[in-house]
Structure 1
Amino acid sequence: MTAYLFNADKFAFEVFADEIVVLDITEGTYFALGGWVVEIWPALAARQPVELIADAISQRYGVSGGTIADELSGLVAKLKDEAILRDAEPTDEGMVLAGATGDFRPLSFEKHVDMQDLLTLDPIHDVDPQKGWPSY
């Protein structure tokens, strides 16, 4: 079984009704994750086996296990490439999925760099005693 753990050392996330926003707190990059990831995020980020997650979603929506497994492995690869998820030993705790979000929607992954300057702004430490703020 394959499992992952959310990299809380570098990232923070917020779950909304139809998407998850993950923020890289060091670089200011943020990611928008959509589709059925909202339903699986608690399990995926907490070391639940991805094979069991894929089976549960396949049964919930009546979508082929192969389709779900392919979508999930593609998303996991992107999350690992960005270091959002790390390899981990699977947990033996029972799996908890969030409630269904409506009709089946494919997974989506968007990376945004447009707000890096704003998100990494540190006004306390960017003050120059001679020039004031900003110091650049």
Structure 2
Amino acid sequence: MSLSYFKANPHGIAGEQFGNEIVLINLIKGNYYNITESSAVFIWNILQQYPISLPQLSQALTIQFDVDLTTATQTAEVFLRQLLSEDLIVETAENIEEFTPMIPDKKQPFNAPKLVVFDDMQDLIVLDPVHDVDAQKGWPFKK
């Protein structure tokens, strides 16, 4: 994983940030997500802007947060694997030569990034009422 680059999936993912929380929806899978902890919000915001590798991301976490490189790498890898498994991010050949996050006046306390998955509305989210129409049964009809 350390030689791969990752970025936010540009297809079928919508989201919004509310303070120190991000809500995402995967319109293809039908799941929605809550990204909590400032480290997770920081990671997601980077992934939306830049393709980044695990070593680059880990280093950025050590600059922004009060965390050592080993812990940053381990927790970032777990979080990236979660995001990949939910198709929220994709691996890419794109990369940036050097990523340097802004250096804060004071490092933030570190808490491991969290991704909470909700699948209770899958049937409604993946239902496409414009295209899921049966001529005999009418609309909306789940195919």
TM-score normalised by length of structure 1:
0.77
One-letter code aligned to 1:29: N
Separation (CA, whole Å) in 1 of partners of 2:87 and 2:4: 16
Q: Say what the alpha-carbon RMSD is for the aligned residues.
A: 2.9
One-letter code aligned to 1:111: V
Match of 1:39 in 2: 42
Separation (CA, whole Å) in 2 of partners of 1:93 and 1:13: 27
2:30 counterpart SS class? coil
Percent identity among equivalent residues?
Answer: 28
Correspondent of 1:71 among 58, 69, 75: 75
Unaligned runs of 5+ in 1: none
Correspondent of 1:92 among 90, 97, 110: 97
Deviates more, 1:33-42 or 1:84-93: 84-93
Q: How many residues align?
A: 135
How far residue 25 of structure 1 moved from its aligned partner, in angstroms, is 0.9
The 3 A distance-change label for structure 1 pair 59 and 28 is same
Deviations, residues 74-98 of structure 1 (Å, cap 9, x unaligned): 011111122222212322364446x
1:91 counterpart SS class? coil
Unaligned runs of 5+ in 2: none
TM-score normalised by length of structure 2:
0.73
Match of 2:58 in 1: 54
2:39 is the alignment partner of 1:7:
no
The 3 A distance-change label for structure 1 pair 56 and 120 is same
